[in-house]
């Protein structure tokens, strides 16, 4: 059976060739992916079942009637030249159907293309998801979704869909990804702030003398400027994880999409049309030759290549899956540290049976889902002895392979600290790759920090305790452990909270290990989350402990402000004003552009604990990419300041 990716490739190639032939009556749209919330599944015994948890609607019921009306509204409004439209159908709140469609911004002016895509989507979505109350379907030209719950004016990044160009990576992968990041950042800013509200933009820049980089970003038009920026920022930040070095890739969220290629994939106005070179009779002959020879040749080549790739992957998986975890880790380990800093040997770690984990999580039911990360979904589980656990189930399509899995397993097994999450075990059976952690009942820091209602639980004393805990954990990673570890993805979502709200740093899948006296490195593989990366790392791949310091500074400002990478404010509590100023100043010291100006974690901990300590003044912050270098010997120049440098005004009402 042909793999799904091969099928998509066949469709794309055929569509491209037929469009070149300009044959009449060959119009069509390219289906990419469909998502049915809690749809059909295959059980162990192979019987096809429907999950009975209230997400399906009754045939010929009120909701289905409302859904039918909704889809009619959407398709009819696509005929009016609108590239975006949202609507509701129904009066009873329990049966209202909410839906929208979004056409790719560059095809909206093309007569009939958006209409054809939306019309196709309204028919296909009820075929793929015949009884689901919430579904999404993506095409190359448009997206359509509906739900029984309102999702308008809200950023949604789940489910995420990623596609990578199957062509071989480019030689200058690092330069390409740097150009992608800088270009897309500019394009995203223009799209989010587009006064017309289209939330769409593209840009082409030269990659080499003969290659052009084409980029496209788009949000649903119901999002605010801030929400569109957030969605695009998260999507762009995910590109290095899935598409590093590839000549093309895309991240598709329900609320936004980003894509880049080294060939034009959207309407580019300044691409010159090919000069006329043949008569009508010649064109007809050329078409016949292409149809008779070209298409079969391409199909044969794709089929042969796909079979070879399939056999190689199958052989590799069979080889890997036939070994237990210790043997697999030993095979992947090498006598010396690899270029990416992997440890030279395996770790002793309990291996849990997959059946036990399935029973503990109720077969990974949605009711036990704790959250979703870049590499997979985390579930709550309860073992037979009553012990609660958290299980990270790596996605089968996850970009985190066995190397990253091994990296995280060995790191957490060897690192022991009260402010680092504890790994209890792991399991690798067939295509299942699982990591079992201690259960954190209070989820992650972002769950409280960026929610106005839950944020009130984080009083200033609690926030100070969390800041100190994170700082101690980073200090251990950077200076006190047997290994010097650079986390590379420090953010609120990776700070877990135990039952006493003590913070624990988690998710070491992207961590980098420095050996001996090594303090910096230049990596070709830039990973992490956009918005938390230090500029010298994101743009040039220059990695050091100061990269984590930058991320900590962003996180510190977020904890103080309660806002994600945005403006700052202080609480009305007068006694806390000095502490607020101190934390903001420490945060500004941590996010200085030059890595040499940023303090070490030991100094950060000292500054946080010392009330009367006078702090150095930070340099000017640009928060923009520029050429910087990590010095061989980073040091902080201490200067003596008078206490009169800092003044606090006590403002009271009259």
Residues marked active site are found at 489
Structure tokens at 391: 């299980």
Strand runs (DSSP E) across 364-431, as ranges?
A: 369-372, 376-382, 388-394, 423-429
Give dist(CA 9, CA 483) in Å, integer.
Answer: 44
The secondary structure of residue 618, as a DSSP letter, is P
CA angle 516, 416, 488 (to 5 degrees): 60
Residue 274: CB atoms within 10 Å: 6
Give dist(CA 593, CA 627) in Å, integer.
Answer: 10
- Give me the residues paired with residue 378 across strands: 371, 392
Residue 98: CB atoms within 10 Å: 21
Instruction: Give all strands of the β-sheet with 256-261 in edge-to-edge order.
Output: 161-164, 248-252, 256-261, 212-219, 200-206
The secondary structure of residue 292, as a DSSP letter, is I
Give dist(CA 28, CA 115) in Å, integer.
Answer: 11
Give dist(CA 502, CA 510) in Å, integer.
Answer: 23
Q: What's the start-to-end Cα distance of the chain, in Å? A: 80
Give dist(CA 324, CA 322) in Å, integer.
Answer: 7
414 known member of a binding site: no
What does the buried/exposed string (b/e) look like for 290-315 if buried means 16 or more CB atoms within 10 Å of the residue's CB? beeeeeeebeeebeeebeeeeeeeee
* Contact (Cβ atoms closer than 8 angstroms) between residue 84 and residue 102: yes
Give dist(CA 420, CA 118) in Å, integer.
Answer: 48
The 8 Å CB, 24+ separation contacts for 27-31 are 27/112, 27/116, 28/116, 29/116, 29/117, 29/120, 29/139, 29/140, 29/141, 29/142, 30/139, 30/140, 30/141, 31/124, 31/137, 31/138, 31/139
* Contact (Cβ atoms closer than 8 angstroms) between residue 435 and residue 408: yes
Closest alpha carbon to 505 in 475, 543, 461: 475
Instruction: Give all strands of the β-sheet with 135-139 in edge-to-edge order.
Output: 31-36, 135-139, 142-147, 97-103, 84-89
Q: Which amino acids are annotated as binding site for ATP, given as ranges?
A: 392
């Amino acid at each position: 059976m042909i793999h799904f990716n091969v099928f998509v490739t066949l469709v794309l190639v055929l569509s491209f060739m037929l469009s070149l032939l300009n044959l009449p009556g060959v119009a069509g749209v390219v289906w990419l992916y469909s998502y049915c919330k809690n749809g059909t599944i295959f059980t162990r015994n192979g019987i096809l079942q429907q999950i009975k948890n209230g997400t399906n609607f009754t045939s010929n019921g009120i909701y289905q009637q409302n859904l039918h009306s909704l889809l009619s509204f959407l398709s009819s409004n696509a005929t009016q030249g609108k590239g975006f439209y949202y609507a509701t159908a129904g009066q009873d709140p329990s049966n209202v159907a909410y839906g929208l469609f979004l056409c790719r911004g560059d095809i909206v002016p093309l007569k009939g293309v958006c209409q054809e895509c939306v019309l196709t989507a309204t028919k296909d979505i009820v075929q793929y998801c015949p009884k689901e109350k919430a579904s999404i379907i993506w095409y190359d030209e448009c997206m359509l979704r509906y739900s029984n719950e309102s999702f308008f004016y809200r950023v949604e990044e789940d489910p995420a869909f990623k596609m990578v160009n199957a062509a071989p990576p480019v030689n200058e992968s690092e330069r390409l990804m740097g150009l992608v990041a800088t270009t897309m950042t500019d394009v995203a800013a223009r799209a989010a702030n587009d006064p017309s509200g289209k939330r769409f933009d593209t840009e082409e820049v030269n990659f080499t003398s003969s290659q052009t980089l084409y980029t496209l970003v788009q949000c649903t038009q119901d999002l605010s400027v801030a929400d569109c920026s957030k969605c695009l920022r998260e999507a762009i930040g995910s590109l290095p994880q899935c598409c590093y070095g590839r000549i093309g890739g895309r991240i598709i969220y329900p609320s936004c999409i980003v894509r880049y290629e080294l060939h034009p994939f959207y309407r580019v106005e300044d691409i010159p049309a090919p000069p006329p070179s043949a008569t009508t009779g010649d064109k007809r002959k050329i078409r016949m030759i292409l149809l008779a020879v070209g298409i079969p040749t391409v199909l044969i080549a794709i089929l042969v290549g796909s079979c070879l790739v399939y056999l190689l992957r199958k052989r590799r998986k069979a080889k890997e899956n036939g070994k237990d975890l210790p043997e697999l880790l030993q095979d992947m380990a090498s006598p010396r540290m690899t270029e990416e800093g992997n440890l030279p040997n395996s770790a002793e770690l309990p291996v849990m049976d997959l059946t036990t984990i399935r029973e503990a999580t109720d077969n990974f039911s949605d009711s036990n889902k704790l959250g979703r990360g870049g590499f997979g979904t985390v579930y709550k589980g309860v073992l037979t002895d009553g012990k609660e656990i958290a299980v990270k189930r790596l996605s089968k399509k996850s970009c985190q392979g066995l190397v990253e899995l091994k990296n995280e397993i060995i790191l957490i097994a060897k690192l022991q600290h009260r402010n680092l999450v504890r790994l209890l075990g792991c399991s690798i059976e067939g295509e299942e790759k699982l990591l079992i952690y201690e259960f954190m009942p209070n989820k992650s820091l972002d769950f409280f920090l960026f929610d106005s209602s839950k944020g009130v639980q984080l009083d200033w004393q609690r926030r100070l305790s969390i800041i100190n805990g994170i700082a101690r954990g980073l200090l251990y990673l950077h200076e006190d452990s047997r290994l010097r570890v650079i986390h590379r993805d420090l953010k609120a979502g990776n700070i877990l909270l135990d039952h006493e709200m003590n913070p624990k740093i988690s998710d070491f899948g992207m961590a980098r290990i420095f050996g001996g006296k090594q303090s910096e490195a230049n990596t070709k593989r830039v990973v992490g989350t956009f918005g938390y990366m230090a500029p010298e790392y994101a743009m040039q791949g220059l990695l050091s402990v100061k990269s984590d310091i930058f991320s900590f500074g962003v996180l510190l400002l977020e904890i103080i402000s309660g806002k994600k990478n945005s403006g700052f404010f202080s609480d009305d509590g007068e006694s806390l004003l000095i502490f607020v100023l101190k934390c903001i100043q420490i945060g500004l010291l941590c996010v200085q552009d030059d890595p040499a100006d940023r303090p070490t974690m030991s100094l950060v901990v000292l500054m946080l604990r010392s009330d009367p300590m006078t702090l150095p003044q930070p340099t000017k912050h640009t928060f923009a990419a520029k050429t910087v270098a990590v010095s061989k010997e980073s040091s902080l120049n201490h200067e003596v300041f008078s206490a009169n440098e800092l003044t606090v005004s006590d403002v009271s009402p009259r």
